[in-house]
Amino acid sequence: MNSLTSLAKSRIKFNKSRTVFTVISIMLTTLLLMSLGTSVAGLINNQKYAVSHTANHHARMKNLTARQLNLLTNHVDVEAVEASEIFARIQYEKMTGFLSLTKAVKGSVFHSAGNLTEGRLPEAPNEICGPPAFFERMGTSPEIGNTLSITFRPGETEYVTREFTICGLVSQADVSKLNVSDDRIAYGASISEALIREFFPEEERSFSAAIRVNGENNLNYDAMKARIASVAEDIGLNKDDLDFNTEYLMVMTDPGQDILAGSVLIALIIALFAGLVIYSIYYVSVITDVQEIGKLKALGASKKQIRRLLQLEGLFASLIALPVGLVLGYLIPKLGLPMLMSAMSKYSVYAELPEGGISMFSLPVTLGVILVVLVTVFLSLLKPLSMASKISPVEAIRYQETSSDKRKEREGCNTLNLTRLSWANLARNKKRTVVTIVTMGLSCVLFISLAAVANSMSIDDFARRTLPEGDFMISLDASYNDKTYPENNLDRVQMHSPFDDALLNKIKSIPGVTAVDTENAMLAGADSDSEVFAGGTRAGIGCFTREDIPKLKKDLKRGDLDYDALLANHGLIYCYDTILEKEGFSMNQRLSLSFFRGDKQIPFNGEIAASGSWGKMSFMLPKELFDQLAGDLNTTIALYIHAEPEQFGAVKAQLQEITGQNQLFKLYSMDEERDIAKLSINMIKYPMYAILILIGIISFMNLINTMVTSIITRKRELAMLQAIGLSDKQLVKMLSKEGMVFTMGTLLAALTVGNLLGYLVFLYGRNTGFMEVQIYHYPLIETIGLGLALILGQMAITFFISKRIHKESLVTRMRSGE
């Protein structure tokens, strides 16, 4: 045993080149696995901190009656209930504000904002409690005892003005971190139940409830959701009125079957990738030692001892690589992830990082990485071990990698050139060539696939969900079905033509504005059983042109978009395909609509001809039909303004001045939408790019190992070729041609399988809403970068290794074994 240990150590020291690259490859693979595991552990721990310090309710139930709220409070499976109700909207300049009541009726539910910091909660009808920002926005100093006048609208009743006294202050989110206009932020304050009872009897009140159910510490994700759903069913709650706090449940409970299956799949992919890399390294390296193993067998070594020798070599290489990989794999995310999280927290209105930092060390992760690496190294040695044990000592001494039990005659050539010499070496080592290309190809396929998804996570695409075109949007802030104040409804507002020619000309004359487009819509009602038109409710109907058809077809789900057929058949297209049946509609259904053109109603009989995902209107009509129904009514509901990039700030300032003069106008700008989009995208995108870099490094090390092993094991052969006339320049060209085969094979796999897999992952993300992808963006820069890195890297490897070879004389190289 001591002799085998000493021999294994001697072989590791003697085969320095192979040992170094083997150790580096194992170390990098360990680093990748440890980095991923540590990052996941850190993100989970940080997410646990974040969700528990933001809101710890399991679900929210809406549209509860007083009776249902009482049943919920007394339910045996419910441990905490916090009831709330929106009482009134506030009218103050262009402020989006509301008055509400929130109270704990059973146990306690935690929220990061809204916690009492000073004073007390309201009790009398004229008392109010809220965050300092609410009172500052209303022009009042946030101090206990100060009074302010508020005009509010309880439900759909008339506006009322009351004097309130500040009785308490609560904590608030730091919205100053968000680069958004003030009118995009909703401000709220709490009033007393005594005030609500003045306006609404108990039976007319509608409640929401944040709840916690028993079992968080011993039920998994699926079981918790099932228990919550059971509670909702027991109190007769509509399924559509139940919203799970999914993020909290996923983080704070054991994963459910779907989540667990996904995690296992990801772990298997990583383990397979790591295993193939290490297998390739050992296959290429260890197989060259069969001759030496034959000499050992000739000296009396048994099969068991030979196996033990190679296993000890793998173990020693792993023992060198594992500690370094584990330490670096822990330190890189330990230092980098908090920096990323801290940078992102500057733009988050929610919980800051824990005071003691993110807890990232995980003993199960560390032990799991060690186990995976050791098992993978062991499995990668099975083939060389089996090969060495089956060959007799005489055959092993005569063994070359092309040796086979089957005798074959090798075809010769009348003439030799560099290309034939290169192909001869690759063909002589077919298995090594194939294994290297497959392993490198897999890593590059993974690289391109992740790059395609990361590149498709576009901030601009996310921002375009709110602002579909242009640099700015001015939209009408009008109601659809306000019965108390019908003058606020869109059909009445349009009679006054807020987007008249004078306004359009004023906007177009702003220096830097290049174009102004319009969006048009009208209100329509129908005598239909659909929820869209239930109880006289009206819906928005938009329009589209013939030129819009190609764009609309990208999101078509059902039906056909033949513009002429739609015109002839009075075809309607429904804009929310996922809820078509739920809303009571069906394809080819006839609808009798009444369009509201100011104080007139225009009848229209149409047919649902297509459905898809197209935006904020319920239906759309061909422009010609829409214009006939609109007559001379100005149906513009939004302006999309295009500006020169260098004039963006100046244009925004003038548009803010214009919209500030009209309560009906609401301004959206691309810079604000992009800032909002960054919050959700960067947290996913940057860690993915970090993984891409690690994968690229490991792939590159695999190429280095293959070429180094190939060249060093052929020192004698290359020296003989140079002795009979092969020049240094020809040697470099020959080695470059060999390396180019590996590079081209790898790139071919990446550009075919990688691009296909990347697009399939993108489609999955788009259809499920995962990773915020909407439009596929080909990773051109990443692909070009990968190609250049492989080509330049291969050339550099060839150059430096050939230089190293020349440090030895021809005689020394011709006498060398390795």
- Lowest-pLDDT choice from 182-186, 414-418, 786-790: 414-418
Among candidate residues 149, 184, 215, the one where a domain is terminated: 215
Residue 232 within a domain: no
Q: What is the 3-state secondary structure (H, E, C) of 623-656?
A: HHHHHHHHCCCCCEEEEEEEECHHHHHHHHHHHH
737/639 same-domain check: no
- 662, 688, 710: which is the final residue of a domain? 662
In this structure, are 117 and 195 located in the same domain? Answer: yes
pLDDT tens digit string along 549-582?
Answer: 998 998 888 999 999 999 999 999 999 888 888 8
Domain that holds residue 354: 1-55+266-403
231 is a domain residue = no
**pLDDT reading at 694 higher than 70:** no
Going by C-beta distance under 8 Å and a sequence separation of 6 or more, which residues neighbour residue 294? 391, 392, 393, 394, 395, 396, 397, 398, 399
Q: Domain check: are 49 and 68 in the same one?
A: no
Q: 130 and 195 share a domain?
A: yes
Say if residue 694 is in the same domain as residue 730: yes
Q: State residue 246's pLDDT score.
A: 84
Say yes or no: 681 and 652 in one domain. no
Mean pLDDT of 723-751: 78
Assess if residue 356 is contained within a domain.
yes
Give the C-alpha separation, 465 to 677, whole Å: 10
Tokens of 424: 């001869």
Q: What is the mean pLDDT of residues 661-676?
A: 85
Which tens digit of pLDDT belongs to each residue from 468-478? 889 999 998 88
pLDDT for residue 404 is more than 50: no
User: Residues 205, 63: one domain?
Assistant: yes
Q: How far is CA 670 from the centre of its chain?
A: 21
Q: Please give the Cα distance from 619 to 621 (Å, whole number).
A: 7
Q: What is the mean pLDDT of the chain?
A: 80
Torsion, CA 698, CA 703, CA 705, CA 709, rounded to 10: 170
Q: What kind and span of H or E run contains 131?
A: none
| Percent over 90 (pLDDT), the chain | 30
Question: Does position 770 have pLDDT exceeding 60, yes or no?
Answer: no
pLDDT digits (tens, 9 = 90+) for 47-70: 677 676 778 899 999 999 999 999
Give CA–CA dist 132/458, Å, rounded: 36
The verdict on 371 and 454 lying in the same domain is no
Considering only 202-206, 436-440, 520-524, 746-750, which range has the smallest mean pLDDT? 436-440
Q: 314: which 2 tokens?
A: 């793998």
Which residue in this structure is represented by tokens 């309607």? 572
pLDDT of residue 175: 58
Contacts of 513 (CB under 8 A, 6+ apart): 507, 641, 642, 643, 647, 651
Q: Give Cα 404 to chain centroid, integer Å.
A: 50
CA angle 55, 61, 65 (to 5 degrees): 135
Of 637, 662, 687, which residue is a domain's last? 662
Q: First-to-last CA distance in the chain?
A: 26
Of 348-352, 371-375, 396-400, 633-637, which has the strongest mean pLDDT? 633-637
**Residue 239, domain member (yes or no):** no
C-alpha to C-alpha distance for 627 and 625, rounded to whole angstroms: 6
Whether residue 307 lies inside any domain: the answer is: yes
The pLDDT value given to residue 721: 75
The upper half-sphere exposure of residue 115, i.e. CA atoms within 13 Å in the direction of its Cβ, equals 10
Distances (CA, A) of 776 to 242, 761, 770, 771: 33, 10, 14, 12
**Within-domain flag for 450:** yes
Chain centroid offset of residue 274 CA: 24
The answer to the question of residue 221 being in a domain is no
Q: Are 271 and 356 found together in one domain?
A: yes
Q: Is 817's pLDDT higher than 60?
A: no
Q: How confident is the model at residue 234 (pLDDT cuts 50, 70, 90)?
A: very high
In this structure, the answer to whether residues 152 and 76 fall within a common structural domain is yes
- Whether residue 715 has pLDDT greater than 80: no
Beta-sheet pairing, 186-191 with 96-106: parallel
The total number of structural domains that make up the chain? 4
Choose between 404 and 44: higher pLDDT: 44
Q: Are residues 586 and 613 in the same domain?
A: yes
Task: Choose between 260 and 728: higher pLDDT.
Answer: 728
pLDDT of 213 over the 90 cut: yes
* Mean pLDDT of all residues in 195-213: 92
Closest CA to 148 of 208, 90, 234: 90
Q: 765-788: string of b/e by CB count within 10 Å (b at 16+)? A: bbeeeebbbbebbebeebbeebbe
Q: What is the pLDDT of residue 687?
A: 64
> CB-based contacts of 384: which residues, under 8 Å, 6+ apart?
282, 283, 286, 287, 289, 290, 310
Are 430 and 549 within one domain?
A: no
In a domain, 255, yes or no: no
Beta bridge partners of 130: 169
Q: Quick: pLDDT tens for 494-510.
A: 988 899 999 999 999 99
